[in-house]
């Protein structure tokens, strides 16, 4: 079976870079996101199959799984769709922001995984094995002030990944987690800070953050390990980031990815 992978959150940032990297490495790729125009541009560039889907909508996720199965199946899944909104304290945060973060970072991850597991099992029967990688965050391993809902959501995504690995034990499906730290992408911090472009630049001032392409290179490398090698947890951050909350120049303003 041709190596074929589904990547969610593919319209920008780490997701788009991951689709490009897989394509460079000769993988067939299914690029999944909500924004059709961006998906079509990425598909024209890389040859990926674009599928518009909101991972928080169960009906759309079911259609995604059916379309992947009908168009050739898959041997890989990258759950990359996610996001953060707000840096308010637990006391002053918005429940709507927290719900939004849990819906995309946790519930969406679970929905896509559940819907695609039969497709991946079929791919594993034909090719020998399949792979799932969940993109979480260092924010899912260490809490920090202002992290609130994002910490909680990414800690939950980390837990789901661990449970899934136990549940699939004995099947030829490896489950991996990539937890990036400070990554400079065009939208993450801008969205988190509600469009404040000046504030969104501050976390990256006077440091060299990771680039999406660097994260994608590590991610794809994990998929290309031999079938018996499972990189359970990959923590990736720039040398300048000494912890989830700090760089060598002091606390981050928008607290990292």
150 catalytic, yes or no? yes
Q: Which helix (H) or strand (E) holds 59?
A: helix 58-70
Residue 145 · residue 245 · CB < 8 Å: yes
* Rounded-to-5 percentages of helix, strand, coil across the chain: 45, 20, 35
Q: Which residue has the tokens 């801008």?
A: 190
- The residues near 40 (Cβ < 8 Å, ≥ 6 apart) are 50
Reference 231, options 178, 159, 164, 176; nearest CA is 176
For residue 6, give both structure tokens. Answer: 């589904």
Q: Please state whether 8 falls in left (phi above 0), alpha (psi between -120 and 50) or beta.
A: beta
> What contacts 101, CB < 8 A, 6 or more positions away?
83, 84, 85, 149, 150, 152, 153
Query: What sections of the chain are H helices per DSSP?
Result: 13-24, 36-46, 58-70, 95-102, 108-127, 148-167, 188-192, 197-201, 212-223
Q: By the 8 A CB rule, do 129 and 172 touch?
A: yes
| Given 150, 188, 223, 245, the catalytic residue | 150
Active site residues: 150
């Amino acid at each position: 079976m041709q190596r074929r992978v589904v990547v969610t959150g593919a319209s920008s940032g780490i997701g788009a870079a991951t689709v490009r990297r897989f394509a460079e490495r000769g993988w067939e790729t299914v690029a999944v996101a909500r924004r059709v125009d961006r998906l079509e541009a990425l598909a024209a560039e890389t040859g990926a199959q674009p599928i518009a889907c909101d991972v928080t909508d169960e009906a759309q996720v079911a259609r995604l799984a059916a379309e992947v199965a009908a168009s050739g199946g898959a041997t890989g899944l990258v759950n990359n769709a996610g996001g953060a909104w707000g840096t308010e304290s637990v006391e002053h945060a918005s429940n709507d922001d927290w719900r939004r973060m849990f819906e995309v970072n946790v519930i969406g991850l679970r929905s896509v995984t559940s819907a695609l597991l039969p497709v991946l099992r079929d791919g594993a029967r034909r090719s020998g094995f399949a792979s799932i990688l969940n993109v979480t965050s260092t924010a899912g391993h260490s809490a920090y002030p202002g992290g609130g809902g994002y910490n909680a959501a990414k800690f939950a995504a980390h837990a789901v990944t661990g449970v899934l690995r136990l549940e699939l034990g004995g099947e030829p499906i490896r489950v991996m987690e990539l937890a990036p730290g400070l990554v400079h992408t065009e939208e993450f911090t801008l969205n988190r800070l509600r469009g404040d472009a000046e504030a969104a630049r501050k976390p990256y001032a006077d440091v060299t953050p990771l680039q999406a392409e660097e994260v994608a290179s590590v991610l794809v490398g994990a998929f290309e390990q031999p079938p018996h090698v499972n990189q359970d947890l990959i923590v990736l951050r720039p040398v300048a980031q000494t912890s989830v909350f700090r760089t060598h120049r002091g606390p981050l303003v928008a607290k990292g990815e």
